[in-house]
Amino acid sequence: MELERLVDGAERILTLNWRDGFTVPTGKLYPFQWNWDSGFTSIGHSYFQLDYAIRELQSLFSGQWENGMLPHIIFHNENEDTYFPNHDFWGTHVNPGAPQRPKSSGITQPAVHGFILENLLEKFPDNEDLISFVKHIFPDVVKSHRFLYAHRDPQREGLMFIFHPWESGRDNSPLWDESLERIEIDASTLPHYQRWDTRIAPSDERPTSYQYDRYVYLLQLGKKYRYDEAGIFEESPFLIQDTLMNAVLIKSNQSLINIGKRFGLDVGELEEWQQQSRSCFKEKLWNHELQTFAPFDVRGGGHIAFKEIGGLASLYADIPSPVQAQRLNDYLWSLHGRGFYICPSFDVDSPLFDSKRYWRGPVWSQMNWMIYHGLKKYGFVETAKIVRSDLIELVRKLCFYEYYEPQKSKVATLTAGYGGSDFSWTAACTLDLLKDGA
């Protein structure tokens, strides 16, 4: 696809996936509004209709819970029944602070919205509509961070835990295998369910049934405690201080601090959180042996020691020391030298690497977007250029898919990406990178 046609293609997808107030990630596979997708997608809309970018975020926050939790799915269209688990299965009415409407899931996702607001303000610094929207939504975004600090950090370390792989955004990453193996499934108590995803996307590109049983188990655990963190923290076999989740939060804290200062808003609380989180991330999540950041398994009491993509988001959040940043850059550079599009989502030398299966190897656009900006911030301009051009090349060759094959030799034989097609955040992130010009 020619470069000019990429811009048209991105616009077409964003329009196609717009549903009167919000955007679905892709029409068939994911027919609702997803939390972190919405953030990236609003950046895409802003190039054509700033109004859509604003409405996108407004609709997302219309699903925020009283305790500040911002759900990972908002089921605006309740009659849509081609996704599992739907709103009935989540049954979030068990929590008195969950809104009656719109219905939602009972877990969250990476808190991108602070940095998305800052990105929009950088693009349209004097737009009155945007400025008044940002001022209006600022307290709600801060409230979503306050929820994490109050409920997901019981030891007050400054690092949030997740209790479900879906919260990490990297659902079936091999990172979670060991924690999921702790879960023994009792077929007589696990509710019957039917997956839709494998009817829409090829099953060898999606998580396995073994993993889905455990996703359902953890959902049921959340519901049993009315999605209240105290009980979940006590019981969940899956309890992880994730790299991506915390790096994104730290980046968004900083963006909110910057925004707050510009508009004369109180940022004291944010600054306190930020100081603690940034230093705890840098110390606790750095794995000396691997020379990378790694999630901390709260139940297992140690790092989940693999090279994978989540820790690279720390560059975007300005977390690594110069030496740590150099190591992360070396890692990317070596993958580039070995014939991979960067960045594969998981360690290509691990037996757990699977170049086709979702978060076990493929390249993802929104990750490239964050890593690109992070590398630029640290002055690794050459690597940033490659991260940008690799994604653009994949999209040109294979169209706007959910994720991509990372091996260059294999891509040469392919005509399409993996997972869902006509994908919103791929359109938005590619468009933004095209406009950025490295």
Q: Which residues are catalytic?
A: 171, 402
The yes or no reply on residue 166 touching ligand 9WN (CB under 6 A) is yes
Distance of closest approach, residue 197 Cβ to ligand 9WN, in angstroms = 6
CA 257 to CA 254: how far, in whole Å? 5
Q: Which stretch binds ligand 9WN (CB under 6 A): 90-98, 133-141, 163-171, 234-242?
A: 163-171
DSSP state of 68: S
Q: Which two tokens stand for residue 84?
A: 């599992």
Query: Smallest gap, in angstroms, from Cβ of residue 41 to ligand 9WN?
Result: 10
Candidates 14, 37, 74, 216: give the one binding ligand 9WN (CB under 6 A). 37
Q: Given phi > 0 = left and psi -120 to 50 = alpha, else beta, which region is 339?
A: left
- Cα–Cα dist 222/228, whole Å: 7
Cβ proximity to ligand 9WN: between 91 and 310 the closer is: 310
Rounded to the nearest whole angstrom, what is the least distance from the CB of residue 171 to ligand 9WN in the complex?
4
Contact segment (CB under 6 A) with ligand 9WN among 29-37, 95-103, 130-138, 343-351 equals 29-37
CA nearest neighbour of 205 among 61, 85, 362, 48 = 362
Supply the minimum distance, in Å, between the C-beta of residue 128 and ligand 9WN.
Answer: 32
- Lookup: tokens for 209: 């049934």
**What dihedral do alpha carbons 251, 252, 254, 256 form, nearest 10°?**
170
Q: How far is the CB of 115 from ligand 9WN (least distance, A)?
A: 16
Q: Is the dihedral of CA 123, 126, 130, 132 positive or negative?
A: positive
If binding is defined by CB under 6 A, does position 171 make contact with ligand 9WN? yes
The count of C-alpha atoms lying within 13 angstroms of the C-alpha of 141, restricted to the half-sphere facing its C-beta, is: 31
* CB half-sphere exposure, 332, CA atoms < 13 A: 30
Taking every pair of C-alpha atoms in the chain, what is the biggest distance, in angstroms?
59
Asked if residue 145 binds ligand 9WN (CB under 6 A), the reply is no
- CB of residue 403 vs ligand 9WN: minimum separation in angstroms? 9
Residue whose CB is less far from ligand 9WN, 273 or 369: 369
What's the min distance (Å) between Cβ of 259 and ligand 9WN?
24
- Tell me which residue of 54, 72, 66 sits closest to 100, measured CA to CA: 66
Under rule CB under 6 A, residue 75 binds ligand 9WN: no
Strands (E), 285-437: 286-287, 292-293, 296-297, 302-303
Return the number of the residue (161 or 425) whose C-beta is nearest ligand 9WN.
425
Could you say which of 18, 22, 36, 176 contacts ligand 9WN (CB under 6 A)?
A: 36
Task: Find the length of the chain.
Answer: 438
Among 9, 17, 22, 25, binds ligand 9WN (CB under 6 A): 25
Q: Does 72 bind ligand 9WN (CB under 6 A)?
A: yes
Tokens of 230: 């105290």
Interaction between residue 308 and ligand 9WN (CB under 6 A): no
Residue partners of 130: CB distance under 8 A and separation at least 6:
50, 54, 120, 121, 124
Structural contact between residues 92 and 78, judged by C-beta atoms closer than 8 angstroms: no
Is residue 401 at the binding interface for ligand 9WN, with CB under 6 A as the rule?
no
Q: Is 400 in the site for ligand 9WN (CB under 6 A)?
A: no
- Of the candidate spans 33-41, 178-186, 227-235, 237-245, the one that interacts with ligand 9WN by CB under 6 A turns out to be 33-41
- Token pair, residue 360, equals 């076990």
Neighbours of 172 (CB within 10 A): 21
Residue nearest to ligand 9WN (CB): 25
Report the residue from 18, 22, 30, 273 that binds ligand 9WN according to the rule CB under 6 A: 30
Question: By C-beta, is 197 or 329 nearer to ligand 9WN?
Answer: 197
# residues near ligand 9WN by CB under 6 A: 10
Cβ proximity to ligand 9WN, 104 vs 383, nearer residue: 104
CB nearer to ligand 9WN: give 108 or 324.
108
Got the DSSP string for 160-206?
A: --BSSHHHHS-TT-GGGHHHHHTPPP-TTTSPP---SHHHHS-GGGS
Residues 181-220, mask of contacts with ligand 9WN (x by CB under 6 A)? ----------------x-----------------------
Structure tokens of 149? 């600090």
Applying CB under 6 A, the residues found at the interface with ligand 9WN are 25, 30, 34, 36-37, 72, 166, 169, 171, 197
